[in-house]
């Protein structure tokens, strides 16, 4: 079979062999319900608690501050709705940013329909929020600040420690969606004054459909899923034991030799960026050049549209992603690209290549070669490019 190059690690990742191996015994052998008192049940209980330790450790959290969920979206929904509903007597104001993931944005919009007020902070051309604006947005009614750790499209890393400080000084709960940051950035919830943190396994070579919410000790929020006494009465449902085991292993592995791995990925990323910039004109790097996730590359290519780039890459066996509307049949391109100030036309022509631990230098070089061909070919087909050349219009 033709070689397949996967450069969409920000969308999801392959389950690592070590992770799958760790999970396998929990399907048909150690299948006990962790709530059961017999042997088979306690085997599952022990496995779940081990995973809880593994997650807690990398965050510098306590074991009982970690609650397992079905993924990043559930964690975000739980954190935001849970805090809002629990504190509605105290205040009804939430601060977030314009470039959050939809799991945060749509949750905020939902709350707006139910009597809450939300400030959506602007970001600059690199995708960074302004700390002064954040401070200015705080009112006596502010009950929650939710700002993502790193952006999924453009990779921009926010000044989380500073945000945590501001939240703490103002006695406001601080949630961060760290779904993209986890596994790439060292996170210390204590030092950074993070009260709530969302993460998901499938972005770090773990399985899909499992994640966690870190909830600082003592912080109360409404439950999202009521029912049995699982997760210390805070998140009901028979535990996804095999998934939780996978998350634990994946997060542990992610933080082994992190610096070394990041060094390699950053080397590949920079090589990819340099080669793209050397070989193509009329392009724009989206996101910040240094405050950027190790694996994230995002460019807009003028005069052409993102989906046609993706399809062309796919024909060459390359998997990538785009902030283009056409990917999903929406009229508007990604809210993130618009928020950093891209005109619609240019935002439509964007491409995200996200690198992971399995990518190689050879792949990077191959992708650049193909990408240059594709961009040239599509531009030659584009009326916009031809207008520019001939000076028409």
Ligand X SMILES: Cc1ncc(COP(=O)(O)O)c(C=O)c1O
Region 166-225 residues binding another protein, contact defined as CB under 8 A: none
Sequence-distant (6+) residues with CB within 8 A of 141 are 90, 91, 92, 93, 117
Interaction between residue 321 and ligand X (CB under 6 A): no
Does 112 sit near its own copies (CB under 8 A)?
no
Nearer residue to another protein within complex by CB, 35 or 274? 35
Q: Using CA atoms, how far apart are residues 193 and 323, in angstroms rounded to an integer? A: 32
Closest CA to 348 of 332, 324, 378: 324
Interface positions, 147-166, toward ligand X (CB under 6 A): 148, 152
Q: Which of 53, 63, 109, 387 binds its own copies (CB under 8 A)?
A: 109
Name residues contacting another protein, limited to 22-41 (CB under 8 A).
Answer: 33, 35, 37, 39
CB 255, CB 183: distance < 8 Å: yes
**Residue 110 interacts with its own copies (CB under 8 A)?**
yes
- Cross-sheet strand order for the sheet of 211-215: 66-69, 211-215, 196-200, 173-177, 142-146, 93-97, 117-121
The answer to whether 41 contacts its own copies (rule: CB under 8 A) is: yes
Nearer of residues 30 and 198 to ligand X, judged by Cβ: 198
**Does residue 326 have an active-site annotation?**
yes
Question: Binding-site residue total for its own copies (CB under 8 A)?
Answer: 74
Residue 177 touches which member of ligand X, its own copies, another protein, none, C-beta under 5-8 Å by kind: ligand X
Q: Within 10 A of 74 (CB to CB), how many other CB atoms are there? A: 22
Phi-psi region of 209 (alpha: psi -120 to 50; beta: other; left: phi over 0): left
Q: Is 101 in the site for ligand X (CB under 6 A)?
A: yes
Tokens 């929904």 sit at which residue? 77
The dihedral formed by the CA atoms of 40, 46, 49 and 54, expressed in degrees to the nearest 10? -120
Asked if 77 and 225 count as a contact pair (C-beta separation under 8 A), the reply is no
Residue 279's binding partner, choosing from ligand X, another protein, its own copies, none, with beta-carbon cut-off 5 to 8 A by kind?
A: none
Whether 61 contacts 195, CB under 8 Å: no
CB 318 within 8 A of CB 367: yes
Q: Which of 263, 277, 314, 387 binds its own copies (CB under 8 A)?
A: 314
Q: Is 307 in the site for another protein (CB under 8 A)?
A: yes
CA atoms within 13 A on the CB side of 44: 23
Tell whether residue 200 is a contact of ligand X (CB under 6 A): yes
Closer CB to its own copies, 76 or 363, in the complex: 76
**Contact positions vs another protein (CB under 8 A):** 11-12, 33, 35, 37, 39, 42, 101-102, 152-153, 228-230, 233, 238, 303-308, 311, 315, 324-336, 343-345, 348, 380-386
**Contact positions vs ligand X (CB under 6 A):** 71-73, 76, 101, 103, 148, 152, 177, 179-180, 200, 202, 211, 237-238
Which residues belong to the active site?
A: 326
């Amino acid at each position: 079979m033709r070689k397949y190059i996967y450069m969409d690690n920000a969308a999801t990742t392959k389950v690592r062999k070590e992770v799958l191996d760790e999970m396998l015994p929990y399907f048909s052998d150690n299948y006990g319900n962790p709530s059961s008192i017999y042997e088979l049940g306690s085997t599952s209980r022990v496995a779940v608690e081990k995973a809880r330790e593994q997650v807690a450790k990398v965050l510098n959290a306590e074991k009982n501050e970690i609650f397992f969920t079905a993924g990043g979206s559930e964690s975000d929904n739980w954190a935001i709705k849970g805090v809002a509903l629990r504190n509605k007597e105290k205040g009804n104001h939430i601060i977030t940013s314009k470039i959050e993931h939809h799991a945060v944005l749509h949750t905020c919009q939902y709350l707006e329909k139910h009597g809450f007020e939300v400030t959506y902070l602007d970001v600059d051309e690199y995708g960074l929020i302004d700390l002064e604006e954040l401070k200015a947005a705080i009112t006596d009614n502010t009950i929650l600040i939710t700002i993502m750790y790193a952006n999924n499209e453009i990779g921009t890393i926010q000044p989380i420690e500073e945000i945590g400080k501001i939240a703490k000084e103002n006695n406001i709960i601080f949630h961060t969606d760290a779904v993209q940051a986890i596994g790439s950035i060292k996170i210390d919830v204590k030092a950074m004054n993070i009260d709530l943190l969302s993460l998901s396994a499938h972005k770090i070579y773990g399985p899909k459909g499992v994640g966690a919410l870190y909830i600082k000790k003592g912080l109360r929020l409404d439950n999202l899923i009521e029912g049995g006494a699982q997760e210390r009465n805070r998140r009901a449902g028979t535990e996804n034991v095999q998934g939780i085991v996978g998350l634990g292993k994946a997060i542990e592995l992610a933080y082994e030799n992190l610096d070394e791995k990041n060094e390699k990925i950053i080397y590949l990323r920079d090589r990819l960026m340099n080669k793209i910039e050397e070989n193509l004109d009329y392009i724009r790097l989206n996101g910040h050049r240094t405050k950027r996730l190790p694996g994230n590359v995002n460019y807009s290519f003028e005069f052409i549209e993102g989906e046609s780039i993706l399809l062309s890459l796919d024909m060459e066996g390359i998997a990538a992603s785009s902030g283009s509307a056409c990917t999903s049949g929406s009229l508007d391109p990604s809210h993130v690209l618009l928020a950093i100030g891209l005109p619609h036309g240019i935002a439509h022509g964007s491409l995200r290549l996200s690198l992971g631990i399995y990518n190689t230098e050879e792949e990077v070089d191959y992708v650049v070669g193909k990408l240059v061909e594709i961009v040239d070919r599509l531009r030659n087909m584009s009326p916009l490019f031809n207008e520019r050349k001939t000076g028409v219009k």
